[in-house]
Structure formats: structure tokens, C-alpha cells
């Protein structure tokens, strides 16, 4: 008796050289590549037969895809679709792309720590003044990353890769995560990256002890997912605990750091500065005072962009497809009660 084919629909555009290895993974796979902007752009017959869906945010109505068994999302964070009714379908596996963006986001975080510690905002302003200040030794005296203490809020794939990149700097790494009793990482980790065994931090804190962790840090990096539990996680009390010589780097999602509390802390120099890639309102409105603060570096939510993202995405999907065909637990299973 022959095994029925597994119908796979991919709604994200990938080049042929990435799709070909997927087609060669198993003769059971029947892959349909159909980039689309809306569910109605996909013929009803295709939705009806689809068993595995790879998508960014395009989702059908629950009754339009009766044979759907697994959704692999193109992003690590899926808070943008968390309320879609399809995600409540019984016996539907949902997985994220956690791990695929870790290398580039971790590099961004380390870059921003170096930039903030070495006074890059002040140096940039000084350059436009064409000034060679007499007090440059004092004005531009850095806080070196080497030998510093870095707190990582959220010890998932990005946080673990940040910890790995910091090792040559002999940094003291402190980390906070929801389940501090579970240092191991059972999510997707490319070979040689991250901290799958939980060996690279000095101490692991529960999120409830966040203020205790950040008060000892020179740099605090926020990379926790956005959930109802983490919304407004970093507020006035946490920023005050950091102290006037500490820097904040936010590569998570807008809404985790309380916007007004952050503006106040920066304006009143309760913290030394910040590098921000994400915001509660995106695009960040021109009226936001963050644009004009001299101790802030702003980027337009680009820390996850990489020319290698598609290749890394397909590599993860290939591994997960192989696990699906073998009946093995998938990487990065979404847990609705946790929000990630």
C-alpha cells in the first residue's frame, strides 16, 4: 500500500536553488510554491489539499484548509497573527522560525553595545561640528565591552548567540528567562551557534528577579518575545535599577520597554543611553522625542535583516520537514498559553 503524498504550500517567494533541496528531501513531498498577498490569491483547491503551510502572515479561514496539519511561519515572532482563528484549530502544529535570525540580530546587539560604550552618538555629533575638542580624553572616555557585565533579558536563540559572541570579550554574562530552572535549549540551533547547553552565562535569573539582575549590568539587551506577560516588562523601576552608567539595547518587539518610561529615563539621564531597533509605534513617528535625544541610536527595525535569511529559513524548514516525515517532535513549537 503506497504512502499518500504530503502536500506542502509555500506562500513566500524563494529562489529555485533553495526550493530544489526541499523537493529532493523525500518523494512523499508535493511542494507548491505560490507567493501571494491575500488568502483569496490561492485557489480553493490548493487550500483544500494543503497539509503543510509555510507562510509569513497569510492564513486561510479554518474551514478553507480542512487537511492542514502544520503551519511553519517565516518569522520568529508571530504576535502579529496570534489572534487568527486558524491558530485555534485542534491538532494543528504551529512552529516559528526562531533561530534563523539569531546570527544577524546578535551581531547588531554587539555592534550597538560597542557603539554606545565608545560614545558613538557623541562622536557622530562632533563630526558634523568639525570639532577637535580639547577635552576629548574625558568627553569620549569609553565604557569598554571587555570585562563588562551584560544582562540578557530573554535567553532564547538570540540571547544565546549574543552570549556566544561576547565570549572573546571576557564579559560576565547574566541572563533572565521565564523558566530559570531550564538552562538547556531544545529549540532550533544551527551547528556551532548559540548556547544549547546553557554554559555561557555566569548566572541565570527568573524574570521576576529582573531588577536584581540589571542593577549590576553595564549593558542590558532586551530580546524576549512579546507576550501578554512581557508587555511593558521594562518600565520605570527596571530602568531606574540599571543606573546612570548603564546602556539599554532593545532588539525584541515594541511594547516590551515602556515608551514614556524610557524617554524619561533618557532625558533625565537615569540611564546612560540606548540603542533601539523596535518601537511600540512603527514607523516611529517624527514627533517622538527619541529622534532628538543625544544619547540614543535609532534604527528602523532592521536588526533581523540579512542577505542570508532565506537560506537560513529554508535550512530550518528542511530540518523540520524531515522531522515531520519521521514523526519526530518539531523544532520551535508555538505554545499559545505562553505566547511564543
Q: Give the catalytic positions in this structure.
A: 253, 282, 301
* Helix intervals (H) in the chain: 16-23, 44-49, 102-117, 120-129, 136-139, 157-166, 210-214, 236-242, 259-267, 309-326
Cβ atoms of 238 and 211 within 8 Å: the answer is yes
DSSP SS3 for 298: strand
Question: 184: Cβ–Cβ under 8 A, 6 or more apart, which residues?
Answer: 196, 197, 198
DSSP string, 245-267: T-EEEE-S-TTSB-HHHHHHHHH
Beta bridge partners of 9: 32, 53
Question: 191: Cβ–Cβ under 8 A, 6 or more apart, which residues?
Answer: none
State how far the Cα of 83 lies from the Cα of 89, in Å rounded to an integer: 12
Question: 83: Cβ–Cβ under 8 A, 6 or more apart, which residues?
Answer: none
C-alpha cell at 278: 523596535
- Per-residue burial over 118-145, b = 16 or more CB atoms within 10 Å of its CB, e = otherwise: ebbbeeeebeeeeeeeeeeeeeeeebeb
Cβ atoms of 198 and 108 within 8 Å: the answer is no
**How is the chain split among helix, strand and coil, in percent rounded to 5?**
35, 15, 50
State how far the Cα of 176 lies from the Cα of 159, in Å rounded to an integer: 10
> Closest Cα to residue 214, out of 264, 286, 154, 287?
154
C-alpha cell at 69: 496539519
Cβ atoms of 219 and 116 within 8 Å: the answer is yes
Amino acid at each position: 500500500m503506497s504512502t499518500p503524498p504530503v502536500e506542502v504550500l509555500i506562500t513566500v517567494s524563494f529562489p529555485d536553488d533553495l526550493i530544489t533541496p526541499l523537493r529532493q528531501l523525500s518523494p512523499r513531498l508535493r511542494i507548491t510554491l505560490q507567493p501571494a498577498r491575500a488568502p483569496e490569491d490561492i485557489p480553493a483547491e490548493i487550500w483544500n489539499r494543503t497539509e503543510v503551510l509555510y507562510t509569513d502572515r497569510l492564513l486561510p479561514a479554518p474551514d478553507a484548509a480542512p487537511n492542514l496539519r502544520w503551519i511553519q511561519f517565516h518569522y520568529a515572532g508571530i504576535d502579529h497573527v496570534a489572534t487568527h482563528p486558524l491558530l485555534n484549530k485542534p491538532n494543528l502544529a504551529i512552529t516559528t522560525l526562531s533561530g534563523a535570525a539569531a546570527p544577524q540580530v546578535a551581531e547588531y546587539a554587539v555592534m550597538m553595545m560597542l557603539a554606545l560604550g565608545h560614545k558613538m552618538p557623541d562622536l557622530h555629533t562632533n563630526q558634523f561640528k568639525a570639532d577637535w575638542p580639547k577635552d576629548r580624553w574625558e568627553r569620549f572616555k569609553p565604557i569598554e565591552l571587555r570585562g563588562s557585565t551584560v544582562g540578557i533579558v530573554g535567553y532564547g536563540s538570540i540571547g544565546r548567540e549574543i552570549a556566544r559572541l561576547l565570549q572573546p570579550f571576557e564579559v560576565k554574562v547574566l541572563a533572565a528567562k521565564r523558566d530559570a530552572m531550564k538552562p538547556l535549549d531544545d529549540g532550533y540551533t544551527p551547528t556551532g551557534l548559540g548556547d544549547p547547553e546553557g554554559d555561557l552565562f555566569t548566572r541565570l535569573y527568573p524574570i521576576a528577579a529582573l531588577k536584581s539582575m540589571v542593577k549590576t549590568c553595564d549593558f542590558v539587551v532586551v530580546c524576549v518575545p512579546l507576550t501578554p506577560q512581557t508587555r511593558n516588562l521594562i518600565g520605570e523601576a527596571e530602568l531606574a535599577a540599571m543606573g546612570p552608567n548603564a546602556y539599554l539595547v532593545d532588539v525584541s518587539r515594541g511594547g516590551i520597554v515602556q515608551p514614556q518610561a524610557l524617554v524619561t529615563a533618557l532625558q533625565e539621564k537615569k540611564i546612560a543611553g540606548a540603542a533601539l531597533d523596535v518601537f511600540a509605534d512603527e514607523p516611529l513617528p517624527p514627533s517622538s522625542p527619541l529622534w532628538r535625544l543625544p544619547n540614543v541610536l535609532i534604527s528602523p527595525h532592521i536588526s533581523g535583516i540579512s542577505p542570508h535569511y532565506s537560506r537560513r529559513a529554508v535550512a530550518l524548514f528542511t530540518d523540520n520537514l524531515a522531522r515531520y516525515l519521521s514523526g519526530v517532535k518539531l523544532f520551535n513549537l508555538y505554545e499559545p498559553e505562553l505566547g511564543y
